[in-house]
Chain A
């Protein structure tokens, strides 16, 4: 089945830029979605279809996808961005329809 790999952790100072990678075989041919999960809460969709934002997601959140890596970028990081982030794809070729990445903990220093 399809595998999505993320770095376990990313640390960033307030006001700086955080980049979270999501690696998968030819992931650039798939549509990637990103979720933010704060402690004790359910995940929330922050970016969909590689780079679109649901209403309510700050413009500081953006996404890109090419080759074997999709990236979630958070600019002007704030303390409230500290959370776990998961990428997700829909694998139409597999019985495992929905694949999540391994997750990345973003720590704001």
Chain B
């Protein structure tokens, strides 16, 4: 069973940049697509973006981002380390949330079949 583990700082100052990493174990990172999803306390789930290694598009490493975050988000992948990463710039209190990494799978259409446990990121001075 594949396992995902998020890592990164729990506290970041406003206007600074957040960097999170998701490490994949128990399975391959190649051949799958990987997403970041966040959830503010007491609120719903928001998809941030994904990075593809599955080949569902012609170019591995292709990214897509939530239009509401696109100007501030960058995703990257290091297949040799079995890690993919999130970089979110110009943080504000509105970015305070639990951040999840997740694996995408296609069952009918695309969904998330494996999730990390999540990591709480607080934006505060």
Contact = CB atoms under 8 A, between A and B. Distances in A.
Interface in B82-125: 100, 107-113, 115-118
B50 A97 contact: yes
A30 B109 CA distance: 8
A89 B44 contact: no
Nearest to A92: B109
Contacts of A35: 45, 112
Contacts, number: 71
Contact of B111 (A41, A90, A92): A90
Interface residues of B, number: 24
Interface SS of chain A: loop
Contacts of B37: 98
B116 to A, nearest CB: 7
Contacts of A97: 47, 50, 64, 110
Nearest to B115: A42
B16 interface: no
B45 A48 contact: no
16 contacts: A42-B115, A42-B118, A43-B45, A44-B115, A45-B112, A49-B109, A54-B113, A88-B111, A88-B112, A89-B109, A90-B110, A95-B64, A97-B110, A98-B112, A100-B47, A102-B44
Interface of B: 35, 37, 44-47, 50, 64-67, 70, 100, 107-113, 115-118
Closest 9 pairs between A and B when the two form their complex, measured CB to CB: A49-B108, A31-B108, A42-B115, A98-B47, A31-B109, A90-B109, A90-B110, A33-B111, A100-B45
